[in-house]
Amino acid sequence: MALLFFLFLATTLSMGSPHKEPIPGHKIHLLSPRTGSGGDYVPGLSCLSWRFGVETNNIVGWITVPGQCKDYVGHYMLGDQYRKDSSIVANEALRYAQSLTLGRDGKDVWVFDIDETTLSNLPYYAGHGFGVEPYNPELFNKWVMEGKAPALPESLELYKKLMGLGTRVVFLTGRPEEQRNVTANNLRQAGYHTWEKLVLKAASYSGKKAMVYKSREREKLEKSGYRIIGNMGDQWSDLLGTNVGNRTFKLPDPMYYIS
């Protein structure tokens, strides 16, 4: 019976969505059994309700995914629903962009975050507990330096259509400045072939919250004459603060929280 269940689980995770191809370059990992380590256990918790609270920014400041929600988050991220949720955000963003009349000066820009927005780190998180394990900067940076993160397909398609509309793209990421070359190469390999600016976090922002850093960088863009017509990210800290743009779009991410 145990063998039959294992084969069923392996087949189910490998099939993915009947309508969407898996994210290119990422392997489907079987979810490991819960051992009691990792995120805190919360009695009576509904993981679906927890994810709703996270995405609506009602649950804030959390460090790890609750221990009993590891399998739920893993199946969500590897399954069809994550892709459907990403699609509805990207499609709405495109409808909005298509409704605009752009200026002729090339100063209309769309701001994209990178991690879990334009590039997907699912190959890393699938092997590290889908957010149940505490964030390990050494291991994550080692993954980043491989430069193998695939594109989130829905964001890549949006990017291509925005470029076709004449919108310029700015990537604004919390990755440190020393990861510029590997990030630029990874973006190009994933299909993001050109951009107006690639903004990485300078050492002067060390210790400052992401919302403060991104607000200041968006302010710099606007002071230099750019108009932020759209802003997309997976974290609320990508979208709150000042100079957020004419409209913001939040992609799903129940794996981690950045303030």
Contact 28, 14 (CB under 8 A): yes
- What is the Cα Rg of the chain in Å? 19
DSSP strand E in the chain: where? 108-112, 168-176, 197-201, 227-233, 248-250
Whether pLDDT at 6 is above 60: no
98-108 in b/e form (b: 16+ CB < 10 A) is: eeeeeeeeebb
Has residue 244 been placed in a domain?
A: yes
pLDDT of residue 41: 82
Contact 225, 90 (CB under 8 A): no
Has residue 256 been placed in a domain?
A: no
Has residue 235 been placed in a domain?
A: yes
Has residue 16 been placed in a domain?
A: no
- Give 237's contacts (C-beta < 8 A, 6+ positions apart): 209, 210, 211, 214, 258, 259
Contact 247, 96 (CB under 8 A): yes
More confident residue, 13 or 156: 156
Contact 70, 50 (CB under 8 A): no
Number of domains in the chain: 1
Has residue 9 been placed in a domain?
A: no
More confident residue, 2 or 175: 175
Whether pLDDT at 3 is above 70: no
More confident residue, 172 or 14: 172
- CATH number, domain of 237, equals 3.40.50.1000
HSE of 209, CA atoms in CB hemisphere, 13 A: 13
pLDDT of residue 21: 66
Whether pLDDT at 13 is above 50: no
Has residue 25 been placed in a domain?
A: no
pLDDT of residue 31: 55
Distance CA 167, CA 217 (A): 19
- Counting every residue written for the chain, the total comes to 259
Distance CA 252, CA 116 (A): 8
Contact 101, 217 (CB under 8 A): no
Question: Percentage of residues in the chain with pLDDT exceeding 90?
Answer: 83
The model's pTM is 0.88
> pLDDT by residue (tens digit) across 68-104?
999 999 999 999 999 999 999 999 999 999 999 999 9
Average pLDDT, the chain: 89
CA neighbor of 98 nearest in space, from 29, 12, 161: 161
Instruction: Count, in order, helices (H) and strands (E) of the chain.
Output: 9, 5
Has residue 24 been placed in a domain?
A: no
Instruction: Grade residue 12 by pLDDT with cuts at 50, 70 and 90.
Output: very low
Q: Residue 153: which domain range?
A: 34-250
> pLDDT by residue (tens digit) across 14-44?
333 445 666 754 444 455 544 445 688 888 8
> pLDDT by residue (tens digit) across 127-151?
999 999 999 999 999 999 999 999 9
pLDDT of residue 42: 86
State the burial class of residue 182 (Cβ atoms within 10 Å of its Cβ: 0-12, 13-18, 19+).
Answer: middle
